[in-house]
Structure 1
């Protein structure tokens, strides 16, 4: 089995090219304005042109309204909508009905009961992303991309009924161990391949993908 890799928060043609060359399976584009990785619709339109059809484009939004999603879908033409907020199962059904695009729901993990939250999305999401839930004490924390690791043993025995990815503080040094403990078949990275917040490093991208694929 080859591990699938998602490189998230891309904002330049150079890092898209590096990700594709290194073997990324998914490329993520952030449309959450408070994130240092956020891009405009104009940027998305230009960047999307450089993504080969063999690699899936993923749009990241947080509790976005229809107008925002309309713009994202038109500009990026995403293969997957990653929903990183408090979207309810009913909201997912609305979004799926409106766009007919694969939906990925993010589930924040911090304590033993959190993995069970995915059960409510069983009939509305197509795949899940387990990410570290920022602590309440972390003022101004983003919903994701904070470089935080959660206790991987919390999901080690948890097997959702749909495909899922692992995220949260992953980097080239720890991704193999994370895969070994959780049994993840797909991993997602953002801050772990940056030289500074929002600044992706082609060398770190290549190292991460190599480490994940070799796990």
Structure 2
């Protein structure tokens, strides 16, 4: 099958931007529950957006070290996917999958080769992986910081491990990401915003178009 990466736009907050993400042909849309994030929205808003997305695009609810109440609330929104973006252990990932019956994406921070040691353990348990730029020690949130990481670190990964690439992806570097990494998927948040937490329809359109064009070029 010809290569074409799955595209996820994360941190969507409004019906208008959701409709734009759908119209531009993204595959997944993410909704953020982390209170310290500029992309945070409450449970009622997430539930309404998930309902609006139903049948049009896959919905993902992002959680950071959630307790059981938050896991239940996320599952109750109707989203098909839960994204775990904290320090969840493999055992916790398994427990959340079992408790909710939802598909689970585990995000893993990458800053150096030592961070890739955890990939195989999570790859056996999660339905998807996101490899994101490792935040600095003083960061107040685990992702969405607009920073990339050294993609050459991924060259040694087991080629059978499918992952989504995240961290600082935008319209200007996504084509290079496609050519150099050829990830299963691409995950963008801050890179398609005109200011923190405010998505821009033009940047979303350009990001998706550039990703698709780069993948199409690889097939020639």
Give TM-score, length-normalised by structure 2: 0.92
Distance 2:131 2:91 in 1: 20
Any unmatched runs of 5+ in structure 2?
215-220
Find out whether 1:146 has 2:148 as its counterpart: no
Distance 1:160 1:50 in 2: 36
Find out whether 1:80 has 2:116 as its counterpart: no
Aligned-residue offset at 1:61? 0.4
Secondary structure, counterpart of 1:50 in structure 2: helix
Task: Indicate if the aligned counterparts of 2:74 and 2:82 stay in contact, CA closer than 8 A.
Answer: no
The residue number in structure 1 matching 2:186 is 187
Distance 1:4 1:27 in 2: 11
Task: Indicate if the aligned counterparts of 2:106 and 2:128 stay in contact, CA closer than 8 A.
Answer: yes
Task: Indicate if the aligned counterparts of 1:5 and 1:186 stay in contact, CA closer than 8 A.
Answer: yes
Q: What pairs up with 1:102-141 in 2 under 5 angstroms?
A: 102-136=103-137, 139-141=138-140
Deviations 1:47-103 (A, max 9, x none): 12221414110110000011011112112x111111000100111111111011111
Any unmatched runs of 5+ in structure 1?
none
Distance 1:183 1:113 in 2: 22
The residue number in structure 2 matching 1:7 is 9
- Structure 1 residue ranges (4+ consecutive) displaced by more than 2 angstroms after TM superposition: 159-163
Deviations 1:28-48 (A, max 9, x none): 000111111011011112212
The residue number in structure 1 matching 2:98 is 97
Match of 2:25 among 23, 26, 47: 23
The alpha-carbon distance between structure 1 residues 165 and 196, as it changes in their structure 2 partners (threshold 3 A), is same
Larger mean Cα displacement after TM superposition, 164-173 or 179-188: 179-188
RMSD of Structure 2 on Structure 1 (CA): 1.3
Aligned-residue offset at 1:141? 3.5
Aligned-residue offset at 1:160? 5.6
Distance 1:179 1:116 in 2: 23
Give TM-score, length-normalised by structure 1: 0.94
Secondary structure, counterpart of 1:49 in structure 2: helix
Distance 2:165 2:157 in 1: 12
The residue number in structure 2 matching 1:62 is 64
Task: Indicate if the aligned counterparts of 1:157 and 1:182 stay in contact, CA closer than 8 A.
Answer: no
The alpha-carbon distance between structure 1 residues 32 and 132, as it changes in their structure 2 partners (threshold 3 A), is same
Q: How many residues align?
A: 212
The residue number in structure 2 matching 1:208 is 207
Distance 1:192 1:27 in 2: 15
